[in-house]
Amino acid sequence: MKTVTLPDGRGLPVMGLGTWRMGERGSDKAAETRVIQKALDLGISLIDTAEIYGNGGSERVVGDAIRGRRDDAFIVSKVAPSNASRRGTIRACEASLGYLGIETLDLYLLHWRGGVPLAETVEAFETLKTQGKIRAWGVSNFDVDDLEDMPNLAECSANQVLYNPQSRGIEFDLLPFCQSHNIPIMAYTPLGQSGVVLKNAAIAGVARRHNATPGQVILAWGIRHAGVVTIPKTATLARVEENLGAVSLQLSAEDLAEIDRAFPAPRRKASLEML
């Protein structure tokens, strides 16, 4: 698996698995667990979750899936802004660790910026690192001005944001800012929203040229940039294997130009999109 380098020198896999909406229904738990285990079997070690996903349900599913194979997984979770005070962050992290059944998170993110001063959250993150409960910390849904307000920005190990051909606003200034500060971008909802990108004729044309699927083309498009990783969520075993094929897919300049015509790059600053 290709990786991007974190500030602490570890490699962050360019392909991961998102778990948003997992753990919401008990009847889906067995199937969701199998999907995560299939990802691990294929070498997709990056598993992304959050305390608000299913009110801890997603973390419980991930915990079940990685039981007995912790060393195979790179686990990311997130603290909600409402819990991001000094004490609240530590309590939330401990709860997440309990649900996951592990002692240490590989990466812990602030889910989005709220009313708690960033200095408080960062202080809690650093305490958790000292205690061995997290290996690194980062943020999610932060724009350039938010990152400029961050204490200890050099320690920020990721910024997880919405990014796909349909939502390219980060390319104007946020992506270059993160690249210049060695902050990896984690792209969530990388396949787009409501099937708009997956059903696009230009994407389909590129896919035919490469004997690939539209989904593989879209994911390969996202990770073409240095420092960008992708975390598509899927509920099917076949789609996990399909997604992995994007890692080795190389898009040509002609391919990229065709996608640009269908989904133009941003020409001005816009508010950061969030889901």
Q: Which of 53, 108, 163, 188 is catalytic?
A: 53
Which candidate, 89, 110, 91, places its Cα nearest to that of 156? 110
Residue 228 burial (10 A CB sphere; 0-12, 13-18, 19+) = buried
111 is in an annotated binding site: yes
Q: Sign (positive/negative) of CA torsion 79, 1, 231, 144?
A: positive
The CA distance from 53 to 254, in Å, is: 39
Burial class (CB in 10 A: 0-12, 13-18, 19+), 229: buried
For residue 68, which of 99, 105, 38, 37 has the smallest C-alpha distance? 37
The DSSP code for 272 is P
Sequence length of the chain is: 275
- Cα–Cα distance, 67 to 78 (Å, whole number): 20
Pairing mode of beta strands 16-18, 74-79: unpaired
**Structural tokens at position 17:** 């698995």
Active-site annotation holds for 53: yes
CB 240 within 8 A of CB 17: yes
Task: List CB contacts of 5: < 8 A, sequence separation 6 or more.
Answer: 11, 12, 182
Nearest to 223 by CA among 15, 30, 44, 28: 15
Annotated binding site: 111
Would you name the residues annotated as active-site residues?
Answer: 53
The binding site for substrate comprises 111
